[in-house]
Amino acid sequence: MNTLSPYSTIANGSKSGIGMVMVVCMLSVCGTVAATVIATSSMYSHRVRRNVLLEQAMYVAEAGLETAASVIEENNGYLWPTTTGSKGLGYGSYTYTITKTGWREYAVESIGTVHGVTSRVSVDRAYLPTYAKYSFWNKVNGEIYFKAGELFRGHVHSDDKLWFSSAGSTLGGPTFMDGVTSGHHTYGGSIEGVLFDKGFKLNADEGDVAQVDFNELRSLAGTFGLVLDGETTIRLDGDKVRVTNQRKGWSNKKVHLGPDEIIYVNSVNYGSSYTRRGKVKMYSGGKKLDGRLSVVSDDDILIYDHLDIADKSDTSDDALGLVSKDDVWITTSAPRNLRIDAAILATGQAYHNNGSFGVLDYNRGYQRGTLNVRGGIIQEVRGAVGTFNSYTGRDISGYRKNYIFDERFAAQPPPYFPPVSDQIEFEGWKFCPGT
């Protein structure tokens, strides 16, 4: 009979104990690893879920931003210094704050919340862009051409078909340094040799000048400027203008300009028939405008002279706006190589006329040099300023065009210049998650 010695039994028992300890240790290690993996997985899952909620909260906040934009637009840019609002949206909600920062300008902040997670979006500047942001705008273009040698800086638009003239490979066509848009589905003439530096887009909507509110402009002039009745002559003279108005008994009267001056000239139906129409005659007599002025008329605005601003630098705040309920015309007595520093708007609302900017008797007489407009031209129906030979490109009568967009007007238009209908723009968009 074989028996195990006590020592052998003890030795075998030690080996079993060591194995059990190792198994327990391994299980412990595996358990720790598993717990770590589970914890890490849980943390990752939580982080992923939070990121998803942050993104959802951002979209909700952007919905609040769009609502705030609609509030600004619906109120035509006139709001209290601070306006707030909130709304539930799906599983989340938003709260927006609109803070007035300038004339029809606001800073907007919107906070979106989804399941307790928030995101904030904001814009430094929400504003109604004015028609002064255009270099050239018209609703009806007619068969008036952009021709070889013409240079346009700033946005050019027509609701109508645009026509282009190319004078062959030597002269090429007109040059457009900014975007060109048309509400029409096609164009006329030839774009061979035409330079579109920032593209040419068809079927584009860019507002409607028929919606310019002259009652509002008259009210603004009554509050912040000057309202006159009947035919008026305005002469630029530095930081003032000289006004002649028979109904006021004024002859070359000095009127000092406020920081943002607006003068409105009414048409009336009483008194001397000669002076009833709110027509404005613009002169300078060699003087320049040193200030900010908009002139608004119920009738035609007639330009007899150079209309210069004193400071044409990029940092200048000098600005002239001409807004007519009818037409804006350059007269036959205006000088050669005429200079006009202004944003010009002609709506044609007064007598259901064209609403044009153009040259009287443009197709008669001799060639009058260059029409230099530094600012912008906005008109219901495009007016003609001269004629040319379509085969040679040679000018025949009236003026040739040199239209230079005043880039300051995109952000700092002339005082109270009308906003583009159904548009609002943002600058300085920011996103802050988890705030």
In this predicted model, what pLDDT tens digit does every residue of 225-267 receive, in sequence order?
Answer: 999 999 999 999 999 999 999 999 999 999 999 999 999 999 9
Q: Is residue 418 domain-resident?
A: no
pLDDT per residue as tens digits for the range 306-326: 999 999 999 999 999 999 999
How many whole angstroms separate alpha carbon 143 and alpha carbon 160? 10
Mean pLDDT across the stretch 371-380? 94
* Rounded CA separation 82/67 (Å): 15
**Could you tell me which residue, 153 or 67, shows the higher pLDDT?**
67
Q: What is the pLDDT of residue 291?
A: 96
For position 48, what pLDDT does the model report?
Answer: 79
Q: Can you give the pLDDT at residue 21?
A: 47
Residue 31 falls within a domain, yes or no?
Answer: no
Considering the domain architecture, whether residues 99 and 138 belong to the same structural domain is answered as: no
pLDDT range class, residue 66, cuts 50, 70, 90: very high
Tell me, yes or no, whether 429 and 347 share the same domain.
Answer: no
Residue 45: predicted pLDDT: 67
Q: Looking at residues 3-21, what average pLDDT do you find? A: 45
The predicted pLDDT at position 237 comes to: 96
Is the pLDDT at 3 greater than 50, yes or no? no
**What does the pLDDT read at residue 269?**
87
Separation CA 247–CA 235 (nearest Å): 17
92-114 pLDDT, tens digit per residue, is 999 999 999 988 899 999 999 99
| Contact between residue 303 and residue 335 where contact means Cβ atoms under 8 Å apart | no
The C-alpha atoms of residue 329 and residue 301 are separated, in whole angstroms, by 6
pLDDT score of 28? 53
pTM here?
A: 0.80
Say if residue 91 is in the same domain as residue 141. no
Residues 118, 146: one domain? no
194 and 96 together in one domain? no
Cα 27 to chain centroid, rounded: 70
369 pLDDT exceeds 70?
Answer: yes
User: Where does the pLDDT of residue 76 fall: very low under 50, low under 70, confident under 90, or very high at 90 and above?
Assistant: confident
State how beta strands 145-146 and 163-164 pair.
parallel
Average pLDDT over residues 193-208: 91
Do 220 and 149 reside in the same domain of the chain? Answer: yes
91 pLDDT higher than 90:
no
Q: Is residue 261 part of a domain?
A: yes
Confidence of residue 190 (pLDDT cuts 50, 70, 90): confident
Q: Which domain holds residue 120?
A: 56-129+423-435
Alpha-carbon distances, residue 6 vs 2, 3, 12, 19 (angstroms): 13, 9, 10, 21
149-168 pLDDT, tens digit per residue, is 888 888 999 999 999 987 65
The reply to whether 35 falls in a domain is: no
For residues 88 and 189, membership in a common domain is answered with: no
> What's the rounded Cα separation, in Å, for the pair 16 and 8?
13
Tokens of 428: 């300085």
Q: pLDDT at position 162, please?
A: 95
Same domain, 149 and 69: no
Q: How many domains does the chain have?
A: 2
Q: Is residue 46 part of a domain?
A: no
- 353, two tokens: 């006329």
Residue 201: pLDDT band (50, 70, 90) is very high
Structure tokens at 304: 């007899």
Same domain for 264 and 320?
Answer: yes
For residue 301, with 0-12 CB atoms within 10 Å meaning exposed, 13-18 middle and 19 or more buried, which class applies?
buried
Q: Do 385 and 258 sit in the same domain of this protein?
A: yes
- Does 338 score more than 90 pLDDT? yes
Q: What is the pLDDT of residue 2?
A: 44
- Tell whether 264 is covered by a domain: yes
Q: 320 and 309 in contact (C-beta within 8 Å)?
A: yes
How do strand 367-381 and strand 395-405 relate by DSSP bridges?
parallel
175 shares a domain with 231: yes
Domain match, 135 and 125 both: no
Confidence tier at 32 by pLDDT (50, 70, 90): low
Decide if pLDDT at 8 tops 50: no
Two structure tokens written together for 322:
């001409």
CA–CA distances in Å: residue 273 to residues 58, 170, 200, 212: 63, 55, 48, 27
pLDDT for residue 24 is more than 70: no
Residue 375 has pLDDT above 70, yes or no: yes
Residue 293, domain member (yes or no): yes
pLDDT (tens digit per residue) in 270-315: 877 778 899 999 999 899 999 999 999 999 999 999 999 999 999 9
In a domain? residue 28: no
Looking at the chain, the whole-number percentage of residues with pLDDT higher than 90 is 61
- Identify the pLDDT of residue 410: 86
pLDDT value, residue 23: 42
* Residue spans of beta strands (DSSP E) within 225-366: 226-229, 232-237, 240-245, 250-256, 261-266, 280-283, 292-297, 301-303, 319-324, 328-330, 339-346, 357-359
